[in-house]
Chains A and B, each alone.
Chain A
Amino acid sequence: MKAIITVVGKDQVGIMYRVSGILNEKHVNIEDVTQTILQDYFTMIMVVQIDETAASFHEVDEALHEMAAKQGLSIHVQKEEIFDTMHQI
């Protein structure tokens, strides 16, 4: 299942490392990444493929949120469909 992960937070060492570490652990394949610093805020968007035989959407979501809470980051994991539906006719 395709999902979009959005990470926003104060720029700090190791954000990318922590996020991709969890994704690796859950067998989630990263298909595309974009990141930028907007007014001191690290903003990263990832397009990923979740292999639900390895870990469910819910498990990936939970693991990322747990890490984000510790690091003071805001993270969203959403199915891709929401963006297509909202922004395309």
Chain B
Amino acid sequence: MTIYKDVLETIRMIEKENLDIRTTTMGISLLDCFGRDHKAASERVYDKITRLASRLVETANEVGEDYGITVVNKRISVTPIALAAAESTEDWLLYAKALDSAAKAVGVDIIGGFSALVQKGCTPSDESFIEAVPYALAETDAMCSSINLGSTKSGINMDAVMKMGPMIKKTAYLTKDNNSFGCAKFVAFANAVEDNPFMAGAFHGVGEAENVINVGVSGPGVVKDALVGMEGATADEIAEKIKQTAFKITRAGQLIGREVSSRLGIPFGILDLSLAPTPAVGDSVAEILEVMGLARCGTHGSTAALAMLTDAVKKGGIMASGHVGGLSGAFIPVSEDRQMIASAEEGCLTFDKLEAMTSVCSVGLDMIAIPGDTPDDTISAMIADEAAIGVINNKTTAVRVIPVYGMKAGDKADWGGLFGASPVMEVNQFSSSAFIQRGGRIPAPVHSFKN
């Protein structure tokens, strides 16, 4: 029976190559919870989340057991909280704490959606939200935050970008006892997607249904092992192999996602196939590039190799699932990828090369530790650069940098668990300040006028 070959291949993927379902994320709309009385509204938020997600963890674990594939993380994404239109840090903290305690009550790892969408402009309420973000991140454990600052349709909101530097630095200061960990829970986006199941950037978009199940599948180890032994193969042969492997991984995720959604009686949203590394041995995206023939991830050729990988993963995934969404591609979070950490420590992988690679990966500058004394405007300028790559190339980009309080280039910051450890990377010493302080709005690029 041919099934035996398939069985052994699947078992090998699970046992040796770390195939898992990275996350089952329940999207919950909170639009019906908001109101003028923020205390009452935040209580409605807590009640709704705990009611709808009460069986999420248990169900995802059960389905994982039935099919023999671990569902590693169970998460929740909610409607961007900035829509609650509060006006003081005190009120925003009510919502942050409601999210955090609801996440703890239902036993999920992380909840995302303490977010704002300000790609074209900020309301006074959005401005007070941005001021509250550092406190919200410092006073919660399981809550993640994101802000969308630009889009291909609207350009880049440079007034908001200008505020990001000080906001991130403040978060770093408030969480300084924990290597500025608060910054690892915040992402600045351009072209944010509304159905992303991965953290820290997940939120439940306003165009989404009341309640959905989105699934994130990973598996860099499986892709790497599929390429081992392909010495002498041409680039197109490698691309084909990646595509086939991505197909299999996606199908596993699709099955689990549909089963979780049917057992909970909640519609299935999308499947996001993103090669997301973890600090575990053999679970690295950088290693895939090395198997392709680069001595180290970050050397010349890395952008081309990553471009091919991201594209082939998307193609395999799209064929395998009826609804592929989210970010789907390859993530390059430095601190979460063992080989990327090694390459950064050896001085091969630099900040500038990472920026180039983000123009072809599925997200952006991710989990990068930078010196604690990096000027505010330099951080804002990094975000502006990254947003420009996204806006001009019609793709999602994000920045998650951690200016680790008290650390210098070459030191090492360790956050433990899935977040890993990162050498503090050097940043450009020349000032971007006068440019950032101009504020205003970078106009939408010409290809946005397609209507």
Contact = CB atoms under 8 A, between A and B. Distances in A.
Interface of A: 4, 6, 8, 32, 34, 43, 45, 47, 57-58, 61, 74, 76-79, 81-87
Contacts of A34: 1, 4
Given A58-B65, A77-B68, A45 B251 contact: no
Given A6-B7, A87-B6, A79 B251 contact: no
Contacts of B3: 4, 47, 83-84
Nearest to A32: B1
Nearest to B5: A87
B7 A83 contact: yes
B23 to A, nearest CB: 18
Contacts of A47: 1, 3
Interface residues of B, number: 22
A74 B15 contact: yes
What's the dominant secondary structure at chain A's contact region?
strand
B65 A4 contact: no
B193 interface: no
Contacts of A8: 11
Interface string B47-71: 0000000000000000001111100
Nearest to A78: B68
Secondary structure at the B interface, as helix, strand, loop or mixed, is: helix
21 contacts: A4-B7, A6-B11, A34-B1, A34-B4, A45-B8, A57-B66, A76-B11, A78-B10, A78-B66, A79-B66, A81-B255, A82-B10, A82-B255, A83-B3, A83-B7, A83-B10, A85-B251, A86-B6, A86-B249, A86-B252, A87-B6
A85 to B, nearest CB: 5
Given A4-B7, A34-B4, A82 B15 contact: no
Interface of B: 1, 3-4, 6-11, 14-15, 65-69, 248-249, 251-252, 254-255
Contacts of A78: 10, 66-68
Nearest to B68: A78
B68 A86 contact: no
Report, nearest first, the 10 A-B pairs whose CB atoms are least far apart: A78-B68, A87-B6, A82-B67, A85-B255, A86-B248, A86-B251, A85-B251, A83-B6, A76-B68, A79-B66
A76 B14 contact: yes
